[in-house]
Amino acid sequence: MQTHQLVLVFGHIIKQMKRRELFSSLASSLKGEKKQEKLLRPPYFGDESLFHKECNKCDAKCATVCEEEIIKITSDKTPYLNFSNGGCTYCDECAIACEFGVLKIDDKKLLRAHVTINKNKCLSWNHTMCFSCKDPCLDNAIDFKAMFMPVINEKCTSCGFCISRCPTDAIDVKVL
């Protein structure tokens, strides 16, 4: 085989290896659960200590009324949000349903979370076209720089709707 042919074959093998590494790292990331140090509470609380004082008297009303079904209940009976199937519409229903003053409409605020795209896991950042996160974002908070580099901008409300739509689990939520 000629030298230039060898260089071509070698280049092709390296390309295939890189592609395999990328997809195996993307696949393994799908299996892992995201670790969350703090709980992400519904967007209507003023005092964290009230969850521990009051929620054990309640039969999880907020979780029952949430149409998005994103409110889950911990073993100590306090509510937290899980975006694996949806996001928060800020509809107020959980606050209206809370009879114990833990969630109140007067305390409404944006969710205390910072949402970012992990460039190592994101398909677009790894040269494979994907716009899956863009459509569910009604706040137009994801900019695609040069078509392939999605970045979350300051319009993000931390609603979480983009998270379950990402095929490689590349959107991270940090609870503040």
Residue 147 beta carbon to ligand SF4: minimum distance, rounded to whole angstroms: 18
Identify which of residues 22 and 65 has a Cβ nearer to ligand SF4 in the complex: 65
Nearer Cβ to ligand SF4 (22/112): 112
**DSSP H helical ranges for 32-116:** 48-54, 61-65, 93-97
Please, what is the Cα angle at 41 between 156 and 140, to 5 degrees? 15
> Please, what is the minimum distance in Å from the beta carbon of residue 172 to ligand SF4?
11
Q: Which two tokens stand for residue 122?
A: 């994101």
- CA–CA gap between residue 68 and residue 84 (Å, rounded): 11
Classify residue 101 as left (phi > 0), alpha (psi -120 to 50) or beta. Answer: left
Beta strands 171-175; 113-117: pairing state: antiparallel
Q: State the nearest-atom distance from the C-beta of 27 to ligand SF4, in Å.
A: 23
CB of 136 to ligand SF4, least distance (A): 5
C-beta closer to ligand SF4: residue 7 or 138? 138
For the CB of residue 61, give the shortest distance to ligand SF4 in the complex, in Å. 4
| Rounded-to-integer distance, Cα 60 and Cα 42, Å | 13
For ligand SF4, which is the closer residue by CB, 17 or 151? 151
Q: H or E stretch including 18?
A: helix 3-31
In this structure, the number of other CB atoms found within 10 A of the CB of residue 95 comes to 21
CB nearer ligand SF4, residue 94 or residue 170: 94
Residues at the interface with ligand SF4 (CB under 6 A): 42, 54-55, 58, 60-62, 65-66, 68, 70-71, 79, 88-94, 97-98, 100, 102-103, 115, 136-137, 139, 141-142, 152, 156-162
